[in-house]
Amino acid sequence: LMIKKLITLFKLGRKIACSDILEIVSNFQKPPLAITLLFKFFSISFTPKKKDSNKSEGKRLSDSLESMGTTFIKLGQFLATRPDIIGEEMAKDLEKLQDKVPAFELYEAKKVIKKEIGEKQYQNIIQIGEPIAAASIAQVHFAKIKNENQEKQVAIKILRPDIEQLFNEELDALMLFAYIVENTISKAKRLKLVE
């Protein structure tokens, strides 16, 4: 279990290292040198991304978090509620953090529904349309169902396949990272990373 967390943590570290998150964060909260060096190590095989000077730091942070997937989108949305930590301007930019990611395939959606409601109930679904909205955790489909011998139009919200497991694994890895940092770097205690 610990090895799995460390592997997940390594993957997340690589994602962070190839983005410009650390540079942006450094502008309002200078990370301890050990953390900076760790992410420099993670980024060894990456060519640095060119900065888009037309974008604000908040917009660049928002774009980076969005490109890293569900867990980071949610963390960004949480940070948007903490202007006391990141400042008003950046919090406003993160409020606009879009929860959009490409939709998963209709056949995947059907598999998820069948697994959740069972084969018998699934037979009551006459038709399921393509997704009309997709976000980081779920997507929505219009469907036609048979209910008490009548046809009814409904909207079905479907969780992404394995999203709960992925989200929990990434959060566990980030929690482990926060714990390690707080317990090995005395200056990091004031950041309250675990909290």
> Per-residue pLDDT tens for 81-133?
888 878 888 888 888 777 667 889 999 999 999 999 999 999 999 999 999 99
Residue 140 CB neighbours (<10 A) = 17
Which one, of 134, 114, 115, 132, lies nearest residue 123 by Cα?
A: 114
Residue 95 CB neighbours (<10 A) = 15
**Residue 167 pLDDT exceeds 80:** yes
The pTM of this model reads 0.68
Asked whether the beta carbons of 143 and 128 are under 8 A apart, the reply is: yes
pLDDT at 35: 73
Asked whether the beta carbons of 141 and 128 are under 8 A apart, the reply is: yes
**Residue 72 pLDDT exceeds 60:** yes
pLDDT at 50: 59
Q: Which residue has the higher pLDDT, 152 or 55?
A: 152
Model confidence over 37-69: pLDDT tens digits? 777 776 666 555 555 667 788 888 888 888 888
Q: Could you tell me the two tokens for 58?
A: 């908040």
Position 102, amino acid: P
Write the CB contacts of 27 (distance below 8 Å, at least 6 apart in sequence): 57
pLDDT at 124: 94
CA–CA separation, 94 and 121 (whole Å): 41
